Chains A and B, each alone.
Chain A
Amino acid sequence: MIAECCKAEKGHDLLEVSMGPHHPSTHGVFRMDVVLDGETVVKLKPVFGYLHRNHEKIAEKNSYLASIPYTDRLDYICSMTNNWAYVLTVEKLSGISVPERSEYIRIIVSELTRLFNHTCLAGFLLQDMGALGTPLMYAFREREKILDLFEALTGSRMMCNYMRFGGCRCDVSADWIKQASAVVDRYSPFLEEFEALITGNEILRVRSQGVGILSGDLAVNAGVTGPMLRASGVNYDIRKVDNYGLYGRFEFRVPLGQTGDVFDRYMVRILEMHESIKILKAALLTIPAGPIMDPKAKLRNLRPKTGEAYGRIEGPKGELGFYLISDGTANPYRYRVRPPSLVNLTILEDMCLGQTIADVVVILGSVDIVLGEVDR
C-alpha cells in the first residue's frame, strides 16, 4: 500500500519490506515497514503494540503499592530507575519525605543500573553491527557482577521491586557497600579495556560516523530525551535540571555530542558511564547512617488526597515520567507512564531517510529502545 503511492513519483518499482516483529535485531517485538529504493530507505513507518500488556489499565485496579512490581517490568533491563520514577511521583502526590540514607541508596542503585544499561547497549549495538557475540559477552559479564549485588540486596536479579514510598525496602549492610565499592573500582579498568578494543575500531567508526544525524532543534521539538538528546548537543540532563534526590551533592559533568550521529550517541553513553562511576565512588564513600524509611510513611492503603502529580527522572534511556491522578481512594484514577523509548522513536523515520537498510538497524540500535516501555 505504501509503495503504491511512491511508485508513480519514481517511475520504477519500490520494495516494501516488513522488518519484524520477529527479527534478530529489532530489540524485541518491534516492526518497521520500510519502503526501499534499491537499498536506500524512502519511507519508514514503525509499528508496535506487540507487547502492549495493559499496564495502565491494570494499575487502575491495583493499589498504589501493588503497582511497584509492575513498574519493574516496564523497562525490564533497568528496574531500579523505573521504581524510583514511580515512588518519586507518589511521594510528590502525597507529600511523603525520604530520609537521607535512602536517597543515597537510591542514587547508588540507579547509577549502577545506568552503568550496566549503557554497557549492554554498547554490546547490543556492536552485535547489530556484526560483531556477533564478543562485545556482548564482555558486557554481560560485567552486568552479572552488578546483578549479584542486586540479588544480595533485593533477592532478585532483574525485577528488584526495591523502592517504597518514603524509602527503600531493606537496608544495605557494610559488607554490601564493600562489595559494591570493589565492583565499581574494577569498572574503570574494564571500561578502558572495552574502549581499547572497540572505540577505535575501524568498522565501528565507518558504520557509525555520519549515520543517522539528528539536529538539536528537531530533537527538542520531537521530545527526544536522554543520551540521544545530549549527543545532538543539547545540554539537558534532568538530574541537573530538576535536582531530584540528592544529586546536587555530587560532582558530575554532562557529556555532549557534536554531530548527533550514531557514534556520538555511543560515545556519550561511554562518557556517561565514567561520570556514573564518579558519582558511585562519592556516594559509596559518604553514605550517612540513619533510617531508610520515613516512620510516618504509609504503604498499604495509601489514599493520597484528590489531586494529580507528574514526576520524572533521568532514566538511562531518557526522561521517564509518571502522571498520577488520585481521587482519594486506594486505587489511582489515572496512571500514565511517559515512556522515553516511545517518544524517542518519533523521529526514527527522519533519521533513517536516505540511509541504507543496514544503517537502519544500527540507528535503531543507537536509539536504545526497550519494547516493554514503548508498549507498556
Chain B
Amino acid sequence: MIDTKLRDDLRKQGVVATSFQELYNWGRKNSIWPLQFGLACCAIEMIAASMARFDMARFGAEVFRPSPRQADLMIVAGTVTKKMAPQVIRLFNQMPEPKYVIAMGACAISGGPFKQGYNVLKGVDRFIPVDVHIPGCPPRPEALLEALMALQRKIAAQSLTGEDRPRFLDAEASGEFPVPEFGEHDLVPASNPEVWRPALVRRD
C-alpha cells in the first residue's frame, strides 16, 4: 500500500496515485443500493432518512430497489418474526454478491422490546451475517446515516486478496444461507449454527 502522507501530498499537487483496491472499493462504497425492505416502525425512520431533511441520496444510496436482484444492501428495519424469517433469508439469498446487511433497530439486533414473544426471532443475525448494527428504538435517521458511513468505511477497508478477503471474493465461501422451515412449535432449525452461537456466559 502506498504511504498515505505521500499520496495526500501528491494529490495536493494534482497527481493522483491510487491502488486498484482503493479505486474498486471507492466505486462500490459510494453507490450502495439498498433493498426496499421495511418491516416495522424502523421502516418509517428509514423512509424519513431518504426524505428531504436527512437525505440519504448524498451518500449514493438514494435508489431503493424493489427487487433483491438489483440491490447490494439489505437494511433489516424492524422486528423479524418467525413467520417472516424464511422470507427474509430467501430474499438475502436472492441478492447477488457483494451484499451487506445492516440490522437497524433493537428488534433486528436481538428481538428488542418484543424479546419475550413466541413469534419473534431474537435477532436476524441468527440466520444471516450482519455487517453493521444500529441500536435504538427507533434509531434516529442520523444514526442510519452514521451506520451507512460505517459500512462505507468497512467496504473501503476490505482487501481484495489474502486471507481476510471478503466472502464474495472467496471461491469456497457461499453467499447462500439455509432457509428455515416452519415447524410445529418453532422454526426448524431455530438458528444457523455457522452464523450464530449463543454466548455461554455463567452468571451465578
Contacts and interface: CB of A to CB of B under 8 A. Distances in A.
Q: Would A and B touch once assembled, by the CB under 8 A criterion?
A: yes
Contacts of A76: 40-41, 44
A246 interface: no
7 contacts: A21-B87, A50-B81, A50-B87, A53-B81, A55-B114, A70-B113, A73-B41
A15 interface: no
Contacts of A270: none
A321 to B, nearest CB: 21
Nearest to B116: A58
Nearest to A69: B113
B118 A57 contact: yes
Contacts of B116: 54, 57-58, 61
A354 interface: no
A137 B81 contact: no
A53 B53 CA distance: 31
B191 interface: no
A49 B117 CA distance: 13
B135 to A, nearest CB: 14
A178 interface: no
Given A29-B84, A159-B138, A51 B40 contact: yes
A263 B185 CA distance: 45
A21 B80 CA distance: 12
Dominant secondary structure at the B interface:
loop
A372 B45 CA distance: 15
Contacts of A24: 36, 66
A140 B66 CA distance: 21
Interface in B49-78: 51-53, 66, 78
A144 B41 CA distance: 16
Contact of B44 (A51, A54, A158): A158
Given A29-B39, A70-B113, A372-B40, A51 B81 contact: yes
A54 B36 CA distance: 25
A76 B37 CA distance: 16
Contacts of B41: 73, 76, 158-159, 372
Dominant secondary structure at the A interface:
loop
Nearest to A148: B53
A58 B117 CA distance: 7
Given A28-B39, A29-B39, A76-B44, A51 B84 contact: yes
A52 interface: yes
Given A58-B117, A70-B113, A141 B52 contact: yes
Interface string B144-168: 0000000000000000000000000
Contacts of B38: 28
Given A24-B36, A51-B39, A140 B81 contact: no
B120 A53 contact: yes
B119 A52 contact: yes
A294 to B, nearest CB: 28
Nearest to A70: B113
A70 to B, nearest CB: 7
Given A54-B114, A137-B52, A141-B53, A22 B37 contact: yes
A154 to B, nearest CB: 14
A51 B43 CA distance: 13
B110 interface: no
B52 A53 contact: no
Interface centre among A53, A141, A143 (most CB of B within 10 A): A53
A117 to B, nearest CB: 11
A157 interface: yes
